[in-house]
Amino acid sequence: MKTRKWNYLMPMTILLIGILSVALLFGVYRIRVYQHINSVLNNTILHVEVNTAIFHMQIEEFISGDTTVNITDAIARMDKSIKLAEAISYGGPIDSEQESLSGMVKMLGLQAQAEEMTSLLKSFKNLALWRLQSSRERGIGSDSDQQFDAMFNQILEKTVIIENVCKTNRDDYLLKSKRIVHGIYLLWAFVMVSATTVIWRIEVQRKRAEEALLESNSLLLSQAEELAAHRENLAGLVEQRTSELTAANERLRFEITERLQVEETLRESDKQIRQLSAELLMAQEIERKRISMELHDSLGQALNVMKLRIRLIEKGMDESQEAARGDCESLLEYLDDVIEEVRRLSLDLSPAILEDLGLASALRWLVSNFRKSHSLKATADIAEIDALFPENHRITIYRVIQEALTNVGKHAGASNVSIGIRRHDDQVTFSVEDDGNGFDPQDISSRKASERGVGLTTMSERVRMVGGVFGLWSRAGEGTRITFSLPVVNGGT
């Protein structure tokens, strides 16, 4: 009866693990879809804000007498802002993407705000055209100029309201989604623990059966000695005991077969878990790329808009406000530093050079950037290897070397670091070596998981998932060398 229950339990356990894995992937997919729509809405609002600000600036400059301003281009920008606002309010495509944002706007309760923003944009454009027709009477400082600035501020207020609501809703949705995903993780862990417990119980039962068999054999020998004087009954007793032993052996053989089946099932489950880990790493790379693009496109543009606004404020100051002008210049310099830091973070998350120029160029850029960021000598011997590996292998190579250099910069205390790439037949070997403090690998491996950190473990797992071999050598006071080898996938030339 227990064996029959086990035959049903294992397939059900595997099925449940598969269902939980699919649910986890679906949850990740839903989060990505929602973030994409929310990102498109935020980018659209930002485009409206930027185009409107540029239109406002160009109109003011033209009325002030700047003949280099292209009014046709300014009006085209304003028309694009109105078109984007109408797409947000009433639905319709955004540029070449066939996506309608009206559903998202209605869900967030921003329909009235979006329609009011659209109306303000149209009125803003009409007022600008009216001022252009008689720029002398309606120039800087006139009532129409004040009305023009007030309407521009109202438009900015509407865009800020919509952006804040989108951000709040996005944060709430992500929090709920993360809780659901964590719940699936906990349930998945519970199923794995339960399956492991059942396997342990079966192993205990098997050991008990072995002990019973040994006891039976011992009893058989004892009885054989006692029955030496009773030869006429010996044949029957031996036959009886032999039958019992055969049955016990059959049971043991059956249990061993069962155990082998369980081990095969566990190997298959481990394979599925590794496949899921690979998919999660790929999802992580996609998320890094999305965050990198959002930092570059959204935050970068927002900071540039802020610079533009400060320039406008500075331009509007008179000669008696020199101190304020100096403060504006200091703030602009600080914004330049912030924009550069955002650019660096964006490149660290997902370097565009890896896609644009290939792995070899990306690694050279990584070493060059590392050399600038740390006061040590970094040398690189990097061969052209892009044609040897597919995209996921190239990402793995880049991430492992990036993590190794990060460890050198944080922990090694080194003066020199070298990066090398060598091809040997159908294998390519990568190495990162420093002359820093070094450490005892045995000491690291004996620590608790919470004390070891995840850097070396993550590098090793990444390499193993693409069929490679990871190696580590280090000794206290003699530096550290990390190596890993990958088989050539595309053959090379």
What is the per-residue pLDDT across 114-135, written as a single tens digit (0 to 9) for each?
Answer: 788 888 888 888 888 887 776 5
The DSSP bridge partners found for residue 94 are: 97
83 compared with 328, residue with greater pLDDT = 83
Residue 154 in this model has a pLDDT that exceeds 80: yes
Per residue in 41-52, pLDDT (tens digit) is 778 888 888 888
Long-range contact list for 10-16, CB < 8 A, 24+ apart? 10/195, 10/261, 10/262, 10/265, 13/191, 13/194, 13/195, 14/265, 14/268, 14/269, 16/191
285 located within any domain: yes
What is the distance between the alpha carbons of residues 31 and 280, in angstroms, rounded to a whole number? 13
With residue 220 as reference, give the H or E element that holds it: helix 143-226
316 located within any domain: yes
User: 20 and 141: one domain?
Assistant: yes
Minimal CA–CA distance to 435: which of 410, 449, 414?
A: 414
Upper half-sphere CA count for residue 337 (Cβ side, 13 Å): 5
User: 73 and 25: one domain?
Assistant: yes
What is the distance between the alpha carbons of residues 70 and 91, in angstroms, rounded to a whole number? 31
Minimal CA–CA distance to 422: which of 474, 343, 485?
A: 485
Residue 492 in this model has a pLDDT that exceeds 60: no
What is the distance between the alpha carbons of residues 124 and 82, in angstroms, rounded to a whole number? 10
What is the distance between the alpha carbons of residues 365 and 353, in angstroms, rounded to a whole number? 8
At 293, is the pLDDT very low, low, confident or very high (cuts 50, 70, 90)? Answer: low
User: 50 and 185: one domain?
Assistant: yes
Using left for φ > 0, alpha for ψ between -120 and 50, and beta otherwise, residue 59 falls in: alpha
- How far does the chain reach from its first CA to its final CA, in angstroms? 62
Q: Are strands 416-424 and 377-381 parallel, antiparallel or unpaired?
A: parallel
CA dihedral 175, 178, 183, 187 (to 10 degrees): 180
Cα 390 versus chain centre, distance:
20
Q: What is the pLDDT of residue 33?
A: 64
Distances (CA, A) of 478 to 41, 156, 376, 413, 435: 54, 60, 16, 11, 6
Residue whose token pair is 């294998």: 427
The DSSP bridge partners found for residue 381 are: 420
Q: What is the CATH number of the domain that holds 443?
A: 3.30.565.10
User: 69 and 127: one domain?
Assistant: yes
Q: Which residues contact 252 (CB under 8 A, 6 or more apart)?
A: 206, 209, 210, 213
User: 445 and 475: one domain?
Assistant: yes
Lowest mean pLDDT among 92-101, 186-195, 466-475: 92-101
User: 337 and 361: one domain?
Assistant: no
27 compared with 474, residue with greater pLDDT = 474
Instruction: Give whichever of 9-13, 87-91, 305-309, 406-410 has the largest mean pLDDT.
Output: 406-410
Average pLDDT over the chain reads 76
At 97, is the pLDDT very low, low, confident or very high (cuts 50, 70, 90)? Answer: very low
Q: Are 349 and 390 in contact (CB under 8 A)?
A: no
Q: What is the pLDDT of residue 63?
A: 80
User: 454 and 437: one domain?
Assistant: yes
User: 48 and 70: one domain?
Assistant: yes
Q: What is the pLDDT of residue 484?
A: 92
401 located within any domain: yes
What is the distance between the alpha carbons of residues 461 and 401, in angstroms, rounded to a whole number? 14
pTM of the model: 0.41
Which of 293, 310, 345 is the C-terminal boundary of a domain? 345
Q: Provide the domain count of the chain.
A: 2
Minimal CA–CA distance to 452: which of 460, 464, 440, 444?
A: 444
Which of 345, 377, 396 is the C-terminal boundary of a domain? 345
445 compared with 32, residue with greater pLDDT = 32
Q: Quick one: 153 exposed, middle or buried, by C-beta within 10 A (0-12, 13-18, 19+)?
A: exposed
Per residue in 311-354, pLDDT (tens digit) is 777 777 777 777 777 777 777 777 777 776 766 666 566 566 66
The DSSP bridge partners found for residue 361 are: none
Per residue in 384-402, pLDDT (tens digit) is 887 888 888 888 888 888 8
Give residue 177's identity as a one-letter amino acid code.
Answer: S
Q: Which range of residues forms the domain containing residue 468?
A: 353-487
Q: Are 116 and 158 in contact (CB under 8 A)?
A: yes
User: 311 and 403: one domain?
Assistant: no
